[in-house]
Amino acid sequence: MELLHSKILGEGEPLIILHGFLGMSDNWKTLGNQYAENGFQAHLVDQRNHGKSFHSPDFDYELLSSDLVGYMDHHQIESALILGHSMGGKTAMQLATSHPEKVKKLIVADIAPKFYPPHHQYIVDALAQLDFNKISSRKEADEELSRHLTDFGIRQFLLKNLYWIETGRLGFRFNFDVLKNRMEEIGDNIGPTSLFNGPTLFVRGDRSEYIQPSDYPEIKKHFPKASIETVDNAGHWLHAENPKQFFEKTLRFMNS
């Protein structure tokens, strides 16, 4: 089994942090350092086909969960606090319900245990317009993306994945060819009878549509001990839009 790439910050109780779709461990560096300063060993993990982790044609939440089990076994982590955002939250839910002994506490950021229809197509279509045979700088990549994506924040999030494959040639760290064809799997739900009885926190952004009050019964069905908190002035990227409140709410739960 191939090992996931990670950045490990601090010493103490292990906390594994999982990024979202087209994200990477770097997205969590600032918060990871804050958790590390508060007595946790933060493992910022790149999931398969993302960041510096291995590329694979196979991609679903059972595999992403198995990758984590292998990662924890390699690092001799019996159980950990698991924090996942969006796609990473789905991985975290899958791990908690499939391998509850591995999860001491579960934190799910702005995603519910339900199926989400593919809704990133506009981003995938924009990325598909980038021709790295012609683009030779980040500035040129941003200019091309800006023709299709007006949101500066989304463009900066995507462009963090750019790196020099070789001298003069840029590319993406994520496995675009596989991920663009796996939109259905990214929206997948956990199993209808999946259950995790451990301490759980769902955190939602007050401006996000990903977790609605109508989802609360389904959350409680799969995660009976779940509490649900709302971060103010935040959308789906709640940890980036209001990091102070996100940190306070998650840290309080982790220390409870």
Per the annotation, the verdict on 46 as an active-site residue is no
Q: Of the residues 5, 222, 236, 239, which is catalytic?
A: 236
Q: Of the residues 58, 73, 125, 177, which is catalytic?
A: 177
Per the annotation, the verdict on 85 as an active-site residue is no
Burial class (CB in 10 A: 0-12, 13-18, 19+), 86: buried
Per the annotation, the verdict on 67 as an active-site residue is no
Q: Of the residues 86, 110, 222, 239, which is catalytic?
A: 86
**Concatenated DSSP letters for 123-176?**
HHHHHHT--TTT--SHHHHHHHHHTT---HHHHHHHHTTEEEEETTEEEESS-H
Tokens at residue 247, please? 């940190």
- Catalytic residue annotation: 86, 177, 236
